[in-house]
Amino acid sequence: MAVRTPADYRQQLKALLPPGPAWDLERVPALGVVLAGLAEELARVDARIVALNAEMAPSTVTELVPDWEAVMQLPDACLGPSPSFGDRQLAVQQRLTAVGAQTPAYFVNIAKGQGYPDARVTQHRAPRFGRARFGKAHFGTWQVQFLWVFNTGGRQRIGRRFGVSYWGERFGTNPGSALECLIRRYAPAHTVVHIRYD
């Protein structure tokens, strides 16, 4: 959507003037001043309409980020305070477009978003008739049928660095508390998850 300039509006207003000597800009120079003032205001309103259109989508929101955050219960308690404006915009976009699931792939995607590219989920199998064999302990016991292990897969790929971090963060590492909070929040209620940092 193109934003019209004051010159565009002034030309349009001049074209809309009725014919006659009372509306002649050469005979009535004050009319040109009035048209210039109207053109400035119309251009300002036009720019605000385009900005409002951009504020309706979370991918382009800038001015209404605090309002979007209030509606979406942000900042997220798991992720802590998001000091930079870009982080706040990204949190709004992710909260609106997030689709939950209770599959291992969903939890791996959460970990990738937190900087763990090699994360994986290990599910334990409870002994079942026809599947288990005597003497095989790797199938687990009845107590571990609802247990799953989340392996982070090593150190995070992104660390805090000068110019990107905010006051109080350690350089070179990202704490895993945000990942643990997110995994435990979205884990199925009947399961027990253990997070293993490699």
pLDDT in tens, 50-95: 999 989 888 889 999 999 999 988 888 887 776 678 888 888 888 8
Tokens of 109: 């995607």
Query: Domain check: are 117 and 70 in the same one?
Result: no
Reported as a single tens digit per residue, the pLDDT across 116-159 is: 889 999 987 776 666 666 665 555 566 677 889 999 987 665 55
Query: Domain check: are 106 and 168 in the same one?
Result: yes
Cα gap 46→32, rounded to integer Å: 21
Q: Considering the domain boundaries, does residue 134 fall inside one?
A: yes
Q: Considering the domain boundaries, does residue 27 fall inside one?
A: yes
Residue 155, domain extent: 100-196
Query: Domain check: are 47 and 135 in the same one?
Result: no
Residue 115: which residues within 8 A CB-CB, separation 6 or more? 156, 157, 158, 174
At residue 10, what are phi and psi to the nearest 5 degrees? -65, -40
Q: Considering the domain boundaries, does residue 143 fall inside one?
A: yes
Query: Domain check: are 108 and 25 in the same one?
Result: no
| CA distances in angstroms from 28 to 8, 33, 39, 113, 116, listed in the order given | 21, 10, 17, 65, 71
Alpha-helical (H) ranges within 24-80 are 29-55, 65-71
pTM above 0.95, yes or no: no
Query: Domain check: are 177 and 135 in the same one?
Result: yes
Cα gap 125→87, rounded to integer Å: 39
Which pLDDT score, from 0 to 100, does residue 43 have? 97
Query: Domain check: are 109 and 191 in the same one?
Result: yes
Q: Considering the domain boundaries, does residue 1 fall inside one?
A: no
Count of structural domains within the chain: 3
Query: Domain check: are 106 and 175 in the same one?
Result: yes
Query: Domain check: are 190 and 141 in the same one?
Result: yes
Residue 164 confidence (pLDDT) above 60: no
How would you class 78 by CB atoms within 10 Å of its CB: exposed for 0-12, middle for 13-18, buried for 19 or more? middle
Query: Domain check: are 87 and 10 in the same one?
Result: no
Beta bridge partners of 149: 122, 194
Cα gap 115→46, rounded to integer Å: 42
